[in-house]
Amino acid sequence: MTTLIVWLVVGGILGWLASMVMRTDGQQGIVLNIVVGIVGAAIGGWLLSPLVGAPTINQNVFSPASLLVSLIGAIVLLAIVNLVRRGRPR
């Protein structure tokens, strides 16, 4: 139970940081930030983990490398959403 709460909090923070980087913070609420953080971590794990050898927060590892991989995955997710929505990644 504690791991789930930490996972949601860290996912929310990573989603919020990614939305700040991509300038979509005004369009998202806390629930969407959590979803972006967690789904972005999954994308980061799929795309980046094999390249850099770092796990993601979805694997219950909270190291600086895993946080960075998860954050980059969340940024990629927001770029894809912006590309589909607006026709440009921003």
Can you read off the two tokens belonging to residue 48? 């980046």
The answer to whether 57 touches 11, Cβ cutoff 8 Å, is yes
Domain total of the chain: 1
Asked whether residue 87 carries a pLDDT value surpassing 80, the answer given is no
**Secondary structure (DSSP) of 51-78:** HH----GGGT--SHHHHHHHHHHHHHHH
Residue 5 belongs to some domain of the structure: no
Query: If you compute the radius of gyration of the chain from its CA atoms, what whole number of angstroms results?
Result: 12
Enclosing domain of residue 61: 13-21+28-86
pLDDT of residue 17: 92
Phi, psi for 61 (deg, rounded to 5): -120, 120
Residue 79 belongs to some domain of the structure: yes
pLDDT of residue 89: 65
Digit-coded pLDDT (tens) for 33-80: 889 888 888 888 888 888 888 877 777 777 888 888 889 999 999 898
Q: Could you tell me the pTM of the whole model?
A: 0.84
Residue 3 belongs to some domain of the structure: no
Residue 78 belongs to some domain of the structure: yes
pLDDT of residue 56: 75
pLDDT of residue 84: 86
